[in-house]
Amino acid sequence: MAEREPRRVGVSFEMKPHAYDPVRNPELFEGVLSRRVLAFAIDFVLIMVPIALAFLFVLLFGLVTFGLGWTLLWLFYPGTIIWILFYYGSTLGSPASATIGMRVMSIEMRTWYGAPCYSCSAP
């Protein structure tokens, strides 16, 4: 091989076709927007109920400890972020490939080539 020719690496991969084309299969996308909005509302409630209960516990704990327990309030912002990431990661990365709200509304998330979603620790 000459010095001026581009080097080739031995990697080749096959491009998979798009599995869900809205132009070819519009019936797969009918009513998805309204169901997704309702699924988001269900997921919002499921995420916020444990956070509200934990907040109520810290408030009551602060009353019992004469304000000392209220120092735990600084944990709510990072705790909320961790809880949301755990909820979405564990539900979208599960074999059902959908959050609980999406399961109720019969929606599932798929990759662009049609496979179900997977978590980072998929075998």
For residue 42, the enclosing domain spans: 29-104
Show the CA angle centred on residue 20, arms to residues 16 and 30, nearest 5°: 170
pLDDT at 120: 59
Does residue 94 lie within any of the structural domains?
yes
Report pTM.
Answer: 0.76
Question: Does 100 fall in a domain?
Answer: yes
The mean of the pLDDT values for the chain is 86
pLDDT score recorded for residue 20: 80
Q: Is residue 78 over pLDDT 90?
A: yes
- Look at residue 74 in the predicted model and tell me its pLDDT: 93
Tally the domains of the chain: 1
Whether pLDDT at 31 is above 50: yes
Please report the pLDDT score of residue 122 as a whole number: 45
Question: Which of the residue ranges 39-43, 83-87, 119-123 would you say has the lowest mean pLDDT?
Answer: 119-123
Q: CB burial class (10 A; 0-12, 13-18, 19+) of residue 5?
A: exposed
Domain-embedded: residue 1:
no
**40 is a domain residue:** yes
pLDDT over 90 at 54, yes or no: yes
Q: Does the residue 122 lie in any domain?
A: no
Indicate whether 123 belongs to any domain: no
Alpha helices in the chain (DSSP H): 32-64, 76-92, 100-104
Domain assignment present for 53: yes
| Residue 3 located in a structural domain | no
pLDDT above 70 (res 23): yes
